[in-house]
Amino acid sequence: MTTLAVFKWAMDPHDERVGVDGSVKWLADKPAVGDDDHEVVRVACEIAGEGEVVGMTMASGDTAFAAARGAKRTLVIEGVDAMAQPTELAAALASAIKAQNDVDAVVIGDSEWQPMVAPMLASELGWPCVLAVDEARREGDSLVVTRRFGAGTQDVRVSAPAVLAVAARREEEQRPGMRAILQARKLPVDAVSASVEDQACFTTQGTHAPETAPARIFDGSNPEEAVSQLISVLKSEGVL
């Protein structure tokens, strides 16, 4: 069976700039490696066991991220705009996944960048979806998934195939070295086309910078002076 690890599929919102006139500019023109992606590949490798782990990403830049962390090959989705909406991203991923054989688990980031995509992908596939995943293992035809629940965790048994949305707790501690990355770039990379036609999309009526109150910084030469300045202003504003 095949486990797909989806990585580098969303734009980093930190690269977005909104001007005072409402114009939007991006510092990047391609999806970035997400904060959860390293855990996505790790969980996919845990699930796969003797099966194959395949990376899946959008066509842009270096595609060796998953291969450097255990994937045996990588699928690159072509024909999808980098600025695609969540509905289009989910449809593109689903289209590419349906074209593969023997896929019984898709692992993707529980991304704050595009939080709608994982459940929408599961809906497109008609598979169950588990969010906030920490760990997962295979037991027979099922997956036992450890996910965050309140202040703790819970184990959920879900029938395969399924979509698991992983949320990383920390940054990657042991990143692949240059040798591993160079070897990963020699592994197979196959292009796949995805259809996003006739997908419902959001209509943007306008953008504007957030309305924020001006901030005042109290930079006294010492903490006592800064506190004195704060108290003085609070009194003048009628707060105290």
Q: Per mean pLDDT, which range of 30-34, 40-44, 163-167 is the poorest?
A: 30-34
d(CA 25, CA 29): 10
Q: How many CA atoms lie within 13 A of 120 on its CB side?
A: 18
Of the candidates 68, 71, 66, which has an alpha carbon nearest to the alpha carbon of residue 9?
Answer: 66
Please name the residues in contact with 10: beta carbons below 8 A apart, sequence gap of 6 or more. 31, 32, 34, 89, 109, 111, 113, 114, 117
Q: Per mean pLDDT, which range of 72-76, 87-91, 180-184, 214-218 is the poorest?
A: 214-218
Instruction: Please state the pTM of the whole predicted model.
Output: 0.81
d(CA 178, CA 193): 30
Location of structure tokens 């930079």: 219
Q: Estimate the crossing angle of helix 86-98 against helix 117-125, to 10 degrees.
A: 40
Confidence of residue 130 (pLDDT cuts 50, 70, 90): very high
CA 148 to chain centre: 17
- Average pLDDT, whole number, for the chain? 89
pLDDT at position 111, please?
81
Average confidence (pLDDT) over 90-99: 92
Is the pLDDT score of 28 beyond 80? Answer: yes
Is the pLDDT score of 29 beyond 80? Answer: yes
Confidence of residue 196 (pLDDT cuts 50, 70, 90): confident
pLDDT at position 220, please?
66
pLDDT at position 54, please?
96
Backbone angles phi, psi at 239, to 5 degrees: -75, -40
Strands 52-58 and 129-139: unpaired
**% residues pLDDT > 70 (the chain):** 99
Average confidence (pLDDT) over 142-166: 92
Q: Is 63 left (phi over 0), alpha (psi -120 to 50) or beta?
A: alpha
Of the candidates 12, 101, 23, which has an alpha carbon nearest to the alpha carbon of residue 60?
Answer: 12
Q: In this predicted model, which residue has the larger pLDDT, 61 or 140?
A: 140
Q: Per mean pLDDT, which range of 47-51, 91-95, 189-193 is the poorest?
A: 47-51
d(CA 128, CA 146): 15
